[in-house]
Amino acid sequence: MSIQVNRLGDPAVRAFVTAVNAHDKAAFEALLAPGATMSDDGTDRDITDWTEREVFSSNGHMDIESESDGGRTLLVTYRNDTWGEMRTKWRFTVDEAGRITRFETGQA
């Protein structure tokens, strides 16, 4: 059972998932605050390099299983052409302007 993207509670997170699933790099980049950071399985990564490899060039797609923390923590079935399908957890930090300052992902 998955949650429809348009029903996600946090507008910035909803826009993030929408941009990932549409492979819309410009929309994705517009959501990030200047200097935004991210980590994958507890290791900080270069956000531009990681998203190009894990999302955009590999057809990444997020199916949302559940959300918590006001919509800023997601349990996701994530798939891409590189790794196939895996269950992941995503946590987002959003600033007062509604831009994502950090996201953390990893195996769930």
Instruction: Return the CATH number at 75.
Output: 3.10.450.50
| Structural domain span for residue 86 | 5-107
What single-letter amino acid sits at 69?
A: D
Whole-number pLDDT of residue 70: 94
User: What pLDDT, in 10s, does the model give residues 58-108?
Assistant: 999 999 999 999 999 999 999 999 999 999 999 999 999 999 999 999 999
Residue pLDDT, tens place only, 13-62 = 999 999 999 999 999 999 999 999 999 999 999 999 999 999 999 999 99
Task: Report the domain count for the chain.
Answer: 1
Listed residue (11, 105, 9, 17) closest to 64, CA to CA: 17
Parallel, antiparallel, or unpaired: how do β-strands 100-107 and 61-68 relate?
Answer: unpaired
H/E stretch holding 51 reads helix 47-51
Q: Across the strands, what pairs with 84?
A: 80
> What are the CA-CA distances from residue 48 to residues 15, 27, 32, 45 (Å)?
18, 14, 11, 9
Is pLDDT of 1 > 80? Answer: no
pTM metric for this prediction: 0.95
